[in-house]
Amino acid sequence: MMEAPVVNVGILTEKAVTFILNGDFIHTQTGHDLSGVQHVLWVDGQIVFNGRLYQELFFEPVSQDASFDLKAVTIGVHFHWQRNEDQRFRGSLYMRTSPEGIVTINQIDVEEYLTSVISSEMSAEASLELLQAHAVISRSWLLAQMEKRIQVDQDDRKYQSLYCDNEQLIRWYDREDHTLFDVCADDHCQRYQGITRASTPKVQEAIRKTRGEILTYDGEICDARFSKSCGGVTERFENCWEPVPHPYLTTLRDSRESGFPDLRIEAEAERWIRTAPEAFCNTHDPAILGQVLNNYDQETTDFYRWKVEYTQAQLAELIHRKTQINFGEITDLIPLERGTSGRIVKLKIVGTRRTYIIGKELEIRRTLSETHLYSSAFVVDKEGETADGIPQRFCLTGAGWGHGVGLCQIGAAVMGAKGYGYQEILTHYFPGAAIERRY
Ligand SMILES: [Zn+2]
Ligand SMILES: [Zn+2]
């Protein structure tokens, strides 16, 4: 069996790091055997370790069962649940200096990394087929990140991700790439906590059964996106991010049926969103939803179709705060452009003081909710209009959860439960893509 590649995962950047070597490690620069508690300090751009100065430090495990602990790692950076935690890792420990401090990197076998990531991202209730499909997607994403770092900016088609003037703000959000390592350990990339938490036997099995498998299209690794629920039809890549079509991130009906209306047409979108057509992701089954939603508490099962209501005062205040633009009272929300899943790409906000256009989907979802609206596939009902035409209530009826591009997680969970194999799940959501084994 060919060996899996090694991934460089950036865990933290700090001015001082305390770590514990459990078992024997070799400090490769000095050839010394080391174990137990160690401290490093960042001083004037150099790393101080045991009284000597270094630009980088490398600790390699000597035995199979050796691990190392990093003290007080911040997890959930910028999220409401941010906290510090000691974390345990297998593989090698690599530290290098940077202008911000000591960058601490874990070098680890790709398959071990994936076992950890899928164990913390997916529910323990998930079916084997769903886990296998996810393993292939995560591996594709990971190998693509590793390739990208090797190619170092030979890609000159950089698109501006923000257009802003007096009439409109059109922006999309994509991850910035890292330069000192392949992926970070936080939600920005995929949450990775080493072996701090035990991996589940089912995840280990899913990783083992798909070892080395990735999705490719025309020989290139697929940018395999996924979201919670497409809402019945998936969205095209370019309607959410930069204007580069990916043939395997196209629009398709999330069902055995293939025909569907052109949801870019307002009347068709309206009819589609106000009804709940049959689809793999059209489910209220808590057992299925629990496979995809970690710690699912069943407060709602309304993800396929949902409703959100605001009073005039609530909506006007929310939009003012989010956009930093005073619209006065809101008189209308008008979809100007919809994507192929019915998601609004450009929304016109009409107020008594001014009018402004926002997009793409994530900007719209952030503007119309304290956190994120489930999706931008919605229709608007205005209620209780005053004599001068000011609605007193706005009711949004929507479809799906997330950007809707690529694999639909709730749909994939249903497919898994219905007996579809992981290859069928993947080729359903990524048409034309091949499953290729790299090692
Ligand atoms: Zn990252
Ligand atoms: Zn779906």
Q: Are 349 and 365 in contact (CB under 8 A)?
A: no
By percentage, how much of the chain surpasses pLDDT 90? 78
Cα(20) to centroid(ligand 2), Å: 45
Ligand nearest to the CA of 9: 1
| Cβ neighbours around 46 below 10 Å, total | 14
Task: Compute the distance from residue 370 Cα to the ligand 2 centre, in Å.
Answer: 25
Q: What is the pLDDT of residue 197?
A: 82
Q: Which residues surround ligand 2, an ion (CB under 5 A)?
A: 230, 254, 281, 408, 411
Task: Render 95-115 in DSSP notation, one character per residue.
Answer: EEEETTEEEEEEEEEHHHHHH
Residue 215 near residue 222 (C-beta atoms within 8 A): yes
Question: How do residues 25-47 score in pLDDT, each as one tens digit?
Answer: 999 999 999 999 999 999 999 99
Nearest to 284 by CA among 304, 254, 308, 268: 304
Task: Give the ligand at the shortest distance from the Cα of 254.
Answer: 2
How far is the C-alpha of 339 from the C-alpha of 237, rounded, in Å?
10
Residue 221 phi/psi, 5-degree rounding, is -70, 135
Count Cα neighbours of 259 within 13 Å in the Cβ-side half-sphere: 0
Average pLDDT over residues 259-285: 97
Q: What backbone torsions phi and psi does residue 43 show, to the nearest 5 degrees? A: -130, 120
Helix H or strand E segment including 214: strand 213-217
CA of 191 to the centre of ligand 1 (A): 9
Give 101's strand partners: 98
The answer to whether the CB of 365 falls within 8 A of the CB of 172 is no
Cα 342 to middle of ligand 2, angstroms: 13
> Are 323 and 356 a contacting pair, CB within 8 Å?
yes
Ligand nearest 180 Cα, by number?
A: 1
Between the alpha carbon of residue 421 and those of residues 3, 211, 293, the distances in Å are 26, 16, 21
Cα-to-chain-centroid distance, residue 13: 22
- Among all bound ligands, the one having the nearest atom to the CA of 190 is 1
Q: Any idea which ligand is nearest the CA of 429?
A: 2
Q: How far is the CA of 201 from the centre of ligand 2 (A)?
A: 28
The pLDDT value recorded for residue 373 is 96
d(CA 406, ligand 1 centre) in Å = 20
Average pLDDT score, the chain = 92
Confidence of residue 165 (pLDDT cuts 50, 70, 90): confident
Could you tell me the distance, in angstroms and rounded to a whole number, from the CA of residue 233 to the centre of ligand 2? Answer: 6
Per-residue DSSP letters for 138-172?
A: HHHHHHHHHHHHHHTT----PPP-EEE-SSEEEE-
Whether the pLDDT of residue 272 is over 70: the answer is yes
Residue among 370, 263, 375 nearest 321 (CA): 370
Q: Give the closest residue to 230 by CA, choosing from 43, 26, 410, 7.
A: 410
- Of 8, 409, 429, the residue nearest 235 (C-alpha): 429
Measured in Å, residue 135 CA sits from the centre of ligand 2 at 19
User: In this structure, which ligand is nearest to the CA of 185?
Assistant: 1
∠ Cα 429 431 433 (to 5°)? 105
Alpha-carbon gap, residue 90 to 65, rounded angstroms: 8
Q: Which of 134-138, 161-165, 403-407, 426-430 has the lowest mean pLDDT?
A: 161-165
Measure 88 CA to ligand 1 centroid, in angstroms: 19
Report how far residue 166's alpha carbon sits from residue 151's, in angstroms, rounded to the nearest whole number. 38
Distance (Å) from CA 38 to ligand 1 centroid: 26
Query: Distance of alpha carbon 405 from its chain centroid, rounded?
Result: 11
**Least distant ligand from the CA of 145:** 1
Which token pair is 264? 């870019």
At 79 the pLDDT is 59
Which ligand sits closest to the CA of 181? 1
Whole-number Å distance, alpha carbon 101 to ligand 1 midpoint, is: 17
Tell me, in angstroms, the distance from the centre of ligand 1 to residue 70's CA. 19
Between CA 74 and CA 186 the distance in angstroms is: 9
Contact 24, 64 (CB under 8 A): no
Radius of gyration of the chain (CA): 24
- In this prediction, residues 317-340 reach a mean pLDDT of 97
pLDDT value at residue 116:
94
Cα–Cα dist 246/262, whole Å: 19
DSSP assignment letter at 236 = P
Distance of CA 74 to the CA centre of its chain: 19
- Segment among 121-130, 170-179, 353-362 with least mean pLDDT: 170-179
Ligand 1 mean position, distance from CA 182 (Å): 8
List, in sequence order, every residue forming a beta bridge with 60; answer none if it has no partner.
26
Rounded CA-CA distance 422/233 in Å is: 20
In terms of Cβ atoms closer than 10 Å to its own Cβ (0-12, 13-18, 19+), residue 423 is middle
